[in-house]
Amino acid sequence: MRLLEINNLTRSFGGVLAVNDVSFSVDKGQIIAIIGPNGAGKTTLFNLMTGIYPPTHGTIMFKGTEITGLTAYQIARLGIARTFQNLQIFNNMTVLENVMVGRHIKSKTGFLGAIFPVWPVQREEREIVEHSLDKLAMVGLTDQAMQPANSLPYGRQKMLEIARAIALEPELLLLDEPAAGLNSTETRELIDTIYNLRDQGVTILLVEHDMETVMEIADRLVVLNFGNKLAEGTPYEIQNNQEVITAYLGEEGSGC
């Protein structure tokens, strides 16, 4: 089943084409990686998919309905969650509370319920806590639950962002450079978490620089260069694609 379809997506910033006529699709249950040199338009693509800004041209279809032009929070409600390249942790909250915000769309309490927390409100609050603790356990942050989020080391904060994103039980999870800045143990944990999520039925789309990780985990890859789609295929096909080698892998060394 086609979960996500991107058709002729284009976005320009003051005349500069950050993403130019990119099309590809993602099937349910896959792990897809978007790779490309710096400035290839990978993060812009994520921002377009999550409604941070609208595309100049093109359409985005999610589960058969068009989501182009929807706002970020509307897209999140449809079941697309994401993490950020430069961390966007809520520094003014505890680790647990960060994940609890991820339960926002799965809970209902309104202003009136917040002001007067009657019994159903309290029950919902307990459910939020339990669910969030589960997610923290998945990324190994249970012991740090009550700490301020900004007291976590960088690698742990990245895992926290993942826990927060999966708290809204997305069908599609976008990870923007999840392995950047992680040491090898942390990268291992990250890969395990990603597999774990895939096994639970979450489709994962990630932008990543770390070639080793990408080639290991991705079912398919999309290669971007200067905003254009250069190639698409399995890791094996991409590694043997002459255009990709010259444009991208070539600059990282011929050893690849």
Partner 1 sequence: MKELTRRKRLRHFLIALFTVFIFVLPFFVSNNYYLSVLVVIGIHTTVVVGLCLLMGYAGQISLGHAAFYGLGAYTSGILTSTYNISPWLAILAGAMGTGIVAYIMGIPIFRLKEHYLALATLGLGLIIHVVFMEEVELTGGPSGLSKGIPYLAIGNIVFNTDFKYYFLVWTVALLAIILANNVVHSRIGRALRSIHGSEIAAQSLGVDTGKFKLQVFALSAVYASIAGSLYAHYITFISPSPFGLMTSIQFVVMAVVGGLSNIWGPILGVTGVTVLTEGLKSIVPQLIPQAGGEYEIVVFGLILVIIMIFLPEGLTSGVVRLYEEWRYRKERADETS
Partner 2 sequence: MSLASELLQYLLSGLTMGGIYALVALGFVIIHNVTGIINFAQGEFVMLGGMFMVTLVGAGVPTVPALVLSVILVMIVVGIMEFGAIRSAKRASPVSLVIITIGLSTAIRGIALLVWGTNPYRLEPFTAGGPIHIGGATIVPQSLWVIGTTAAVLALTFFMFEYTYWGKALRACVVNKFAARLMGINPQKMSLFAFVFSAALGALAGIVIAPITYVTYDMGLMLGLKGFVAAVMGGLSSTPGAVIGGIALGVIESLGAGLVSSGYKDGIAFIILLLVLFLKPGGIFGTFGSKRV
Task: Tell me the closest approach of the beta carbon of residue 49 to partner 2, in angstroms.
Answer: 13
Binding-site partner at residue 211 among partner 2, partner 1, none, CB < 5 to 8 Å by type: none
Task: Work out which of 2, 8, 13, 256 binds partner 2, going by CB under 8 A.
Answer: 13
* Distance (Å) of CA 230 to CA 24, 35, 143, 255: 11, 10, 44, 21
Contact call for residue 116 and partner 1 (CB under 8 A) = yes
Please compute, for residue 3, the number of CA atoms within 13 A of its CA located in the half-sphere on the CB side.
20
Q: Which stretch binds partner 1 (CB under 8 A): 2-10, 29-37, 115-123, 233-241?
A: 115-123
Task: Tell me the closest approach of the beta carbon of residue 82 to partner 2, in angstroms.
Answer: 12
Task: Work out which of 2, 13, 92, 252 binds partner 1, going by CB under 8 A.
Answer: 92
Q: Which stretch binds partner 1 (CB under 8 A): 100-108, 194-202, 230-238, 239-247?
A: 100-108
Q: Which residues contact 43 (CB under 8 A, 6 or more apart)?
A: 85, 176, 207
Tell me the per-residue interface mask from 138 to 177 with partner 1, x by CB under 8 A, - otherwise. Answer: -------xx-----------------xx--x---------
Task: Tell me the closest approach of the beta carbon of residue 246 to partner 1, in angstroms.
Answer: 36
Binding-site partner at residue 215 among partner 2, partner 1, none, CB < 5 to 8 Å by type: none
24 and 44 in contact (C-beta within 8 Å)? no
Binding-site partner at residue 71 among partner 2, partner 1, none, CB < 5 to 8 Å by type: partner 1
- In one-letter notation, the amino acid at residue 242 is Q
Q: Compare residues 116 and 119 and give the one whose CB is closer to partner 1.
A: 116
Q: Which 3-state string (H, E, C) describes the chain?
A: CEEEEEEEEEEEECCEEEEEEEEEEEECCCEEEEECCCCCCHHHHHHHHCCCCCCCEEEEEECCEECCCCCHHHHHHHCEEECCCCCCCCCCCEHHHHHHHHCHHHCCCCHHHHHCCCHHHHHHHHHHHHHHHHHHHHCCCHHHCCCEHHHCCHHHHHHHHHHHHHCCCCCEEEEECCCCCCCHHHHHHHHHHHHHHHHCCCEEEEECCCHHHHHHHCCEEEEEECCEEEEEECHHHHHCCHHHHHHCHHHHCCCC
Q: Which stretch binds partner 1 (CB under 8 A): 62-70, 85-93, 189-197, 201-209?
A: 85-93
Q: Which stretch binds partner 1 (CB under 8 A): 31-39, 126-134, 195-203, 211-219?
A: 126-134
Contact call for residue 245 and partner 2 (CB under 8 A) = no
Task: Tell me the closest approach of the beta carbon of residue 13 to partner 2, in angstroms.
Answer: 6
For partner 1, the binding residues (CB under 8 A) are: 50-52, 71-73, 75-77, 81-82, 84, 88-93, 96-97, 100-105, 107, 109-111, 113-117, 121, 124-125, 128-130, 133, 145-146, 164-165, 168
